[in-house]
């Protein structure tokens, strides 16, 4: 009789150890141990408990476990925007490795805003996650205020930075060798016969933008080509550039007005695509009159017309590496602290149809 009423009650909500214990007339500890196959418990009781647990689909409550173990098996990922091919491939990579290791991923968006980044960090740093993977907001880079990051690290919560990293903060990092990669791209343009090569980059506070223009400069120097500062266009987009498309287009347009180039390296897909668009408006044939290489291999590059030669950053791999670095650190039980690592993932030039041969 009692049983019947009881069933109905537990059908709805997940049963807890306590419920099972009461129903089977054993103690909570016994149930717990039986389920974990402890040798302290008799075979018979074990079977009984397991059968019951299976029948009512018992699953230990994650929150209770987190509280007890002081670890949540959850990673916090904070990125500037999510409607963005590169970042989503990175998330894919993170998820992949995290799931493999039994971790969940909780995503926070900073929208390139310093304030939102701080809020997100604080919101999650109160026990919700074991560690962070982050690519910092442009605004954070430009105001150079990193207290939220150093504070979380001081609290014992490890951080892994990827792509946009901060030299001043000591933590694990995953990057591509931006300078070297862009140098390689420029070299390719030179080898393909370009004489006047331009670059469209971001303002220098964006670490990757800075490095990529450095690579550009270095490549020219190596090839004994004089540096013409006019050929370097530094776009200032503090926020999501997709919203400022006209602004971007204007800047690139006037750049093309003032310079004649036969090779162009763009620091991201969007810049490259937009450049192609205005080049077309100005009657330039690609790749005959103008060769273009982009950075980041996203949907745009692949499906552009003509398909864009670009640099693949291997976002998925970056994500995997980031998750690996973080989880390794989290699960490292040695009491000596591991030194911080920076892993560099390789880049490739994906040759499509905006470059010759």
Chain positions contacting its own copies, by CB under 8 A: 11-14, 57, 59-64, 66-67, 72, 74, 81-85, 88-89, 91-92, 95, 104-109, 122-128, 151, 154-156, 242, 270, 273, 277, 280, 298-300, 303-305
CB 81, CB 136: distance < 8 Å? no
Residue 106: φ, ψ to 5°: -115, 130
For residue 297 the two structure tokens come to 């291999």
| Interface with DNA, residue 281, by CB under 7 A | no
Q: 3 to 22, contacts with DNA by CB under 7 A?
A: 14, 16-18
Q: How far is the CB of 10 from DNA (least distance, A)?
A: 11
Strand 309-312 with 348-350, pairing: antiparallel
| Interface with DNA, residue 28, by CB under 7 A | yes
CA 196, chain centre distance (Å): 34
| Interface with DNA, residue 47, by CB under 7 A | no
Please, which residue, 96 or 203, has the CB nearer to its own copies?
Answer: 96
SS3 assignment, position 276: helix
Please, which residue, 43 or 226, has the CB nearer to DNA?
Answer: 43
Task: State the Cα–Cα distance between residues 335 and 345, nearest whole angstrom.
Answer: 28
| Interface with DNA, residue 30, by CB under 7 A | yes
| Interface with DNA, residue 26, by CB under 7 A | yes
Site string for DNA, 186-215 (x = CB under 7 A): ------------------------------
What is 235-265 written as a DSSP string?
Answer: E---S-GGGGHHHHHHHHHHHHHH---SEEE
Please write down the HEC assignment for all residues of 50-63.
HHHHHHCCCCCCHH
Work out what residue 196 binds among DNA, its own copies, none; the CB cut-off runs from 5 to 8 Å by kind.
Answer: none
Q: In this structure, what DSSP letter does residue 108 have?
A: E
Closest CA to 313 of 301, 299, 294, 295: 295
Measured CA to CA in angstroms, residue 314 lies from 106, 300, 320, 343 at distances of 22, 15, 10, 13
| Interface with DNA, residue 36, by CB under 7 A | yes
Work out what residue 107 binds among DNA, its own copies, none; the CB cut-off runs from 5 to 8 Å by kind.
Answer: its own copies
- Which residues form the interface with DNA (CB under 7 A)? 14, 16-18, 25-30, 32-33, 35-36, 40-46, 58-61, 64-65, 67-68, 70
């Amino acid at each position: 009789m009692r049983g019947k009423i009881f069933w109905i009650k537990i059908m709805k909500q997940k049963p807890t150890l306590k419920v099972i214990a009461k129903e089977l007339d054993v103690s909570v500890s016994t149930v717990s141990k039986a389920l974990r196959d402890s040798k302290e418990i008799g075979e018979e009781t074990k079977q009984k408990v397991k059968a019951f647990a299976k029948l009512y689909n018992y699953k230990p409550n994650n929150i209770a476990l987190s509280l007890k173990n002081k670890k949540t098996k959850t990673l916090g990922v904070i990125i500037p925007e999510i409607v963005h091919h590169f970042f989503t491939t990175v998330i894919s990579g993170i998820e992949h490795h995290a799931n493999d290791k039994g971790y969940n991923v909780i995503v926070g968006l900073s929208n390139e805003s310093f304030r939102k980044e701080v809020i997100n960090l604080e919101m999650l740093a109160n026990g919700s996650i074991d560690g962070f993977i982050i690519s910092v907001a442009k605004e954070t880079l430009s105001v150079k205020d990193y207290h939220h990051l150093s504070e979380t690290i001081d609290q014992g919560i490890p951080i892994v930075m990827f792509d946009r990293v901060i030299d001043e903060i000591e933590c694990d990092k995953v990057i591509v060798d931006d300078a070297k990669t862009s140098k390689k791209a420029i070299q390719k343009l030179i080898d393909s016969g370009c004489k006047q090569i331009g670059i469209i980059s971001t303002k220098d506070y964006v670490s990757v933008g800075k490095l990529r223009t450095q690579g550009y400069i270095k490549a020219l120097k190596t090839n004994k080509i004089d540096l013409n500062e006019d050929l370097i266009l530094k776009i200032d987009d503090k926020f999501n550039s997709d919203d400022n498309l006209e602004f971007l287009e204007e800047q690139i347009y006037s750049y093309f007005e003032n310079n004649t180039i036969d090779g162009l390296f763009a620091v991201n897909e969007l810049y490259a695509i937009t450049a192609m668009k205005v080049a077309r408006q100005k009657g330039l044939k690609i790749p005959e009159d103008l060769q273009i290489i982009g950075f980041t291999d996203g949907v745009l590059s692949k499906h552009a017309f003509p398909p864009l030669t670009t640099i693949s950053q291997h976002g998925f791999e970056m994500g995997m590496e980031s998750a690996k670095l973080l989880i390794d650190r989290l699960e490292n039980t040695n009491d000596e602290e591991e030194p911080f690592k920076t892993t560099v993932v390789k880049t490739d030039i994906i040759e499509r149809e905006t470059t010759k041969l």
